[in-house]
């Protein structure tokens, strides 16, 4: 275990030695705050059990409240310190830019200079992971970890430093601290998963990235139909890049016998956006639900607001207020978490709007399905999947173009400037990749879809494991050779960073 911690810190050191200070501060502050809260809880519980009968009901309540307030102080100090740290490193320049815009609107006087801050790799991931742990300890879900080395490993476990997933202590600690002996089964499964990740990343994502970049860079030429193509290519690129990266993370951990939480569950097979978000970047979604959406929704303030809004707006409309307000906050936070710029905020709020509209349309859907018997048919399922892909890809154009007015312009151009004359094969070849590249991507995509379809009836790896040795060898060797031969290397390609690195 100390070796794993050393490896994790070495990983950080190689990236930038200064990063170590940041992760160490989060680790130490969270460890001691959680330990203090946990120790207080345990000693109070023991004391309370013994002395409970000596006090009246009201006194007992007061004692509990006093204890709770003391724990809350430590909890809030640590939470605000670490979230403040995250906010300062990630959002200072964004705040300055917005203040400058406001100042500029009043006559361009007194502009504030930007500051040169270090943004440590994976800071959002390890901060969220640590704060999740702190909140769980504060809520009494489990006792705090007593060993600083063990806790430091939980925070910095290197395979997931780059792009998550955001692990929960209760899950990851189950296998992280065990002694692991060499096991051929887990090693082979892990290597297989790593190989699959590289296949997605190098054969599909990095190859299709080239035309995506060309489309984004030349918005005057590539509008209308090409904006639509760009959105579709980007959807494929992001999926292959992000899930490929997570496959590598999970695979690396698996070779060491450590089980990391799954982060995707074939999201593009979702029938609506709400379901999509339960199946895409799952650990982030559940983190936001458990640690932001629920605490806000269940807060005293929200309960009072709920009562007031029901009294004023009636039961039907009033009960929507807490759900809508909490969702708004969650999606705003999700947006800004993805990046300190307005395009991400608008993207987040776009998701909020779509989810709320589909929520409101539910009675209509129920009515529709009572009249038209299509639910459960293959055609309807395909329609739902296409709808999910189109909506999510449209929203992701904010992430793709990274400029709010430009995104709206390009989205509008799909409907106003698309024409059949744009359907020219030569233009596609002019985007930096050849017909051969498109063929490779297409075959790669077919493999991806086939694997997803097989996954519906259980783990693909388990299925491969039951095959005879020569068959398994052909599959592994084929995947390896496909990645080596068809991976995007050489002039014009560079194995780009993983997209989620920056978060």
Partner 1 sequence: MNELIEILNDLHPEVDFTTEKGLVTGGILDSFDIVSLISEINEEFDVTIGAAELTPENFDSAETIYALIKAKLDDED
> Looking at beta carbons only, is 310 or 409 nearer to partner 1?
310
Q: Which region holds residue 458: left if phi is over 0, alpha if psi is between -120 and 50, else beta?
A: left
What SS3 state is found at 372? Answer: coil
- Binders of partner 1 among residues 336 to 395 (CB under 8 A) are 359
**In the bound complex, what is the minimum distance in angstroms from residue 36's beta carbon to partner 1?**
19
What phi and psi values does residue 147 have, to the nearest 5 degrees? -105, 115
Q: How crowded is residue 143: how many other Cβ atoms within 10 Å of its Cβ?
A: 14
Counting contacts by CB under 8 A, is residue 279 touching partner 1?
no
The answer to the question of residue 283 lying near partner 1 (CB under 8 A) is: no
> Which of 230, 226, 231 is closest to 422 using CA atoms?
226
**Is residue 25 a contact partner of residue 118, using CB atoms and an 8 Å limit?**
no
| Region 195-254 residues binding partner 1, contact defined as CB under 8 A | none
- CA 199 from centre of chain: 21
- The site that binds partner 1 (CB under 8 A) totals a number of residues, namely 25
189, 280, 293, 486: which one binds partner 1 (CB under 8 A):
293
Q: Which stretch binds partner 1 (CB under 8 A): 14-22, 36-44, 321-329, 391-399?
A: 321-329
Return the closest-CA partner of residue 200 out of 232, 233, 237.
Answer: 237
Closest separation in Å from C-beta 279 to partner 1: 12
Q: Out of 18, 51, 141, 312, which residue is the one contacting partner 1 (CB under 8 A)?
A: 141
**Candidate segments 27-35, 36-44, 303-311, 397-405, binder of partner 1 by CB under 8 A:** 303-311
DSSP string, 189-240: HHHHHHHHHHIIIIIIIHHHHHHHHHHHH-TTTS-THHHHHHHHHHHHHHHH
Using the structure block, give the residue that is written with the tokens 């307030």: 69
314 binds partner 1 (CB under 8 A): no
| Of 51, 185, 281, 338, catalytic | 338
Task: Assess 319 for contact with partner 1 (CB under 8 A).
Answer: yes
Write each residue from 36 to 75 as x if it is in contact with partner 1 (CB under 8 A), else as -, in one continuous string: ---------------------x------------------
Q: Which of 133, 126, 128 is nearest to 34 (CA)?
A: 133
* List 77, 83, 303, 439, residue binding partner 1 (CB under 8 A): 303
Whole-number minimum distance, CB 278 to partner 1, in Å? 8
Q: At its nearest, how many Å lie between partner 1 and the CB of residue 326?
A: 7
Does 326 bind partner 1 (CB under 8 A)? Our answer is: yes
Q: Report how far residue 107's alpha carbon sits from residue 94's, in angstroms, rounded to the nearest whole number.
A: 20
Q: Are residues 156 and 5 in contact, defined by beta-carbon separation less than 8 angstroms?
A: yes
What kind and span of H or E run contains 361? none
- Provide the 3-class DSSP secondary structure of residue 110: coil
Q: Where are the beta strands (DSSP E) in 145-188?
A: none
> Can you tell me which of 294, 367, 442, 477 binds partner 1, judged by CB under 8 A?
294
The encoded tokens of residue 60 equal 């007992």
> What are the φ and ψ backbone dihedral angles of 481, each rounded to 5 degrees?
-65, -40
Is residue 298 a contact residue for partner 1 (CB under 8 A)? yes
By CB under 8 A, which span of 240-248, 296-304, 343-351, 445-453 interacts with partner 1? 296-304
Contact 248, 197 (CB under 8 A): yes
Q: How many CA atoms, within 13 angstroms, populate the side-chain half-sphere of residue 327?
A: 16
Residue 244 or 285: the one with the smaller Cβ distance to partner 1 is 285
Among 108, 113, 300, 466, binds partner 1 (CB under 8 A): 300
Q: How far is the CB of 301 from partner 1 (least distance, A)?
A: 12
Which of 141/146 has CB closer to partner 1?
141
**Known catalytic membership, residue 51:** no
Task: Give the one residue of 283, 306, 351, 407 binding partner 1; rule: CB under 8 A.
Answer: 306
Give residue for tokens 């009675």: 363
Site string for partner 1, 79-98 (x = CB under 8 A): --------------------
Q: Quickly list H helices, 361-495.
A: 362-371, 378-401, 404-416, 425-429, 435-455, 460-465, 469-486
Binding-site member from 290, 358, 455, 480 for partner 1 (CB under 8 A): 290
Query: With helix as H, strand as E and coil as C, how does 282-294 read?
Result: HHHHHHHHHHHHH
- The piece of 15-23, 119-127, 160-168, 316-324 that touches partner 1 (CB under 8 A) is 316-324
In sign, the C-alpha dihedral spanning 97, 98, 100, 101 is positive
Binder among 323, 346, 404, 443 for partner 1 (CB under 8 A): 323
Q: Taking CB under 8 A as the rule, does residue 181 contact partner 1?
A: no
- In the set 243, 283, 327, 334, which binds partner 1 (CB under 8 A)? 327
Contact status: 274 vs partner 1 (CB under 8 A): yes
Nearer to partner 1, 299 or 434 (CB): 299
The answer to whether the Cα torsion of 33, 36, 40, 42 is positive or negative is positive
Residue choice 84, 110, 295, 478 for contact with partner 1 (CB under 8 A)? 295
Interior angle at CA 155, CA 153 and CA 156, nearest 5: 65
Q: Would you please indicate which residues are annotated as catalytic (active-site) residues?
A: 338
The contact set with partner 1 (CB under 8 A) reads 57, 139-141, 274, 289-290, 293-295, 297-300, 302-303, 306-307, 310, 319, 322-323, 326-327, 359
């Amino acid at each position: 275990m100390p070796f794993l911690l050393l490896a994790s810190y070495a990983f950080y050191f190689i990236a930038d030695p200064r990063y170590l200070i940041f992760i160490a501060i989060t680790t130490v502050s969270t460890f001691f705050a959680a330990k203090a809260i946990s120790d207080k809880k345990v000693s109070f519980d023991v004391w309370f059990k013994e002395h409970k009968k000596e006090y009246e009901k009201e006194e007992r309540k007061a004692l509990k409240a006093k204890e709770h307030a003391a724990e809350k102080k430590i909890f809030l100090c640590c939470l605000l310190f670490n979230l403040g740290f995250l906010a300062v490193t990630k959002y200072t320049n964004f705040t300055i830019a917005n203040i400058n815009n406001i100042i500029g609107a009043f006559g361009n006087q007194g502009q504030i200079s930007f500051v040169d801050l270090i943004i440590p790799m994976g800071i959002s991931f390890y901060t969220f992971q640590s704060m999740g742990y702190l909140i769980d300890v504060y809520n009494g879900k489990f006792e705090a970890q007593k060993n600083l080395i063990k806790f430091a490993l939980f925070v910095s476990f290197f395979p997931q430093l780059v792009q998550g997933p955001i692990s929960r202590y209760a899950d990851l600690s189950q296998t992280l601290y065990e002694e692991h002996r060499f096991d051929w089964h887990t090693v082979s499964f892990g290597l297989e998963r790593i190989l699959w990740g590289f296949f997605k990343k190098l054969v599909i994502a990095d190859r299709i990235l080239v035309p995506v970049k060309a489309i984004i860079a030349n918005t005057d030429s590539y509008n209308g139909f090409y904006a639509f193509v760009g959105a579709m290519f980007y959807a494929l690129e992001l999926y292959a890049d992000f899930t490929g990266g997570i496959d590598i993370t999970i695979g690396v951990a698996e070779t060491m016998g450590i089980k990391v939480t799954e982060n995707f569950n074939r999201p593009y097979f979702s029938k609506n956006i709400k379901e999509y978000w339960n199946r895409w970047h799952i650990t982030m979604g559940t983190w936001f639900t458990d640690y932001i959406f629920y605490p806000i929704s269940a807060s005293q303030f929200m309960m009072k607001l709920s009562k007031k809004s029901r009294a004023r707006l009636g039961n039907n409309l009033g009960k929507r207020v807490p759900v809508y307000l909490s969702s708004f906050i969650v999606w705003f936070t999700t947006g800004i978490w993805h990046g300190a710029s307005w395009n991400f905020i608008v993207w987040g709020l776009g998701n909020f709007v779509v989810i709320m509209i589909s929520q409101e349309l539910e009675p209509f859907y129920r009515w529709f399905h009572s009249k038209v018997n299509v639910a459960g048919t293959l055609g309807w399922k395909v329609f739902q999947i296409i709808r999910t892909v189109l909506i999510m890809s449209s929203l992701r154009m904010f992430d793709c173009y990274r400029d709010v007015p430009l995104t709206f312009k390009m989205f509008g151009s799909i409907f106003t400037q698309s024409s059949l004359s744009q359907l020219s094969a030569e233009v596609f070849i002019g985007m930096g990749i050849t017909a051969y590249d498109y063929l490779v991507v297409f075959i790669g995509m077919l493999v991806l879809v086939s694997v997803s379809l097989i996954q519906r009836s259980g783990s693909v790896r388990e299925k491969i494991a039951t095959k005879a040795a020569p068959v398994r060898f052909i599959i592994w060797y084929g995947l390896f050779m496909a990645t080596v031969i068809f991976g995007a290397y050489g002039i014009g390609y560079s194995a780009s960073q993983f997209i989620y690195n920056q978060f």
